[in-house]
Amino acid sequence: MTFEQLKSFLAIVKHNHFTLAAQDLFISQSSISKQIKSLEKEIGVELFKREHRSIKLTPAGEEFLLFAKKAVQNCDEIKSIMNKYRVEESTTLSIGVTDTMVEYGLATLIGDFHKEYPNIHIELIERGNKSILEYLSTSKINLGFINTLNTYKDILESHELFTDNLVLVTSNNNNLEDTKSISLYDTHKEKYISLNSDSSMHNIFLNIWGNLNFFPDILYIDSHTKTLLALVSEDIGITIIPCTVANSFKNNINKNIKIINLKDNISSKILLVNSKNRQLTKNEAIFKKFAIKWFNVQVSNESTQLDSY
């Protein structure tokens, strides 16, 4: 018994006519007749009573109809459910990332995704927030990871993956009082260093100082976050940056920095974003679902570790 035989049987019941049923299924009348004869032979009973030019279900056919409807419905549901796991032929997804995403496990995420979906290749395009948003609007990239205070709900579909507290970073030689936490207002006479307008931190700086109604002396540089922190370590200025990024730099690259918590309690969000102007392809949806689930596990593991202390 095949799925095609069941669909043919239901089509005949629907139209009460072999020819109309065949047309509905885009097959010949002889093909649909052969399928029904083969089905009747397999189960050993007649399903239709053929009288002149009319047909009607036999008692066995009436009962078989109930099971045929359930079987086809179940099969359609199975196909629909399994379809979300079906990967399209080998393809490449272009994903925009900021230069700090590696500190949040980007490489491990991509590695884990590749193990499960080897036919979906990932092209990472490292840019600042501004460029990532522009690339999404012009379909130069499929998805993007950004670090921001905002959610851009008016133009993007966004999913918050991670929240990271912002911290103040100075060199070990900085004259600010040695303290575990500080108010931003108490730093307004300091010289700050920030990345340029394309970076995620640029807009974060503008938001922070705009809310405080004062602007410190800010040196903008066209470079990467690691260069920014290297300049801070040389006491050229101080900066505000996500805690995860600051800790990674201090632990792995240069210990000549101090990380000070902010009393202002400001945090930034890591978002996975895509354009609202078009529907995601199947492979884009697969990656998005995988990334969201992956980050949920990481956040859950971090919470468990903190609770154990």
Radius of gyration for the chain, computed over Cα atoms and rounded to the nearest angstrom: 31
262's tokens: 């902010």
Q: Could you count the other beta carbons within 10 Å of the beta carbon of residue 2?
A: 11
Percent of the chain scoring above 90 in pLDDT: 34
192's enclosing H/E stretch is strand 191-195
CB 25 within 8 A of CB 11: yes
**Confidence at residue 167, expressed as pLDDT on a 0 to 100 scale:** 94
Give the Cα separation of 35 and 266 in Å (integer).
69
- Cα 299 to Cα 165, 245, 273, 294, 306: the distances in Å are 14, 16, 19, 9, 11
**For 181-236, what is each residue's pLDDT tens digit?**
899 888 888 899 988 877 777 777 777 888 877 778 888 777 788 899 999 999 99
pLDDT, tens digit, for every residue of 232-272?
999 999 999 999 999 999 999 989 999 999 998 888 889 99
| Per-residue pLDDT band at 104 (split at 50, 70, 90) | very high
- Please tell me the distance from the alpha carbon of residue 208 to that of residue 100, in angstroms, as a whole number: 20
Helix axes 3-15, 29-43, angle to 10 degrees: 110
Placement of tokens 């379909």 in the chain: 139
Token pair 């006519």 is found at 17
Q: Distance between alpha carbon 135 and the CA centroid of its chain, in Å? A: 16
pTM of the model: 0.66
289: tokens are 């679902």
Domains of the chain listed by start with CATH number: 3-83 (1.10.10.10), 93-269 (3.40.190.290)
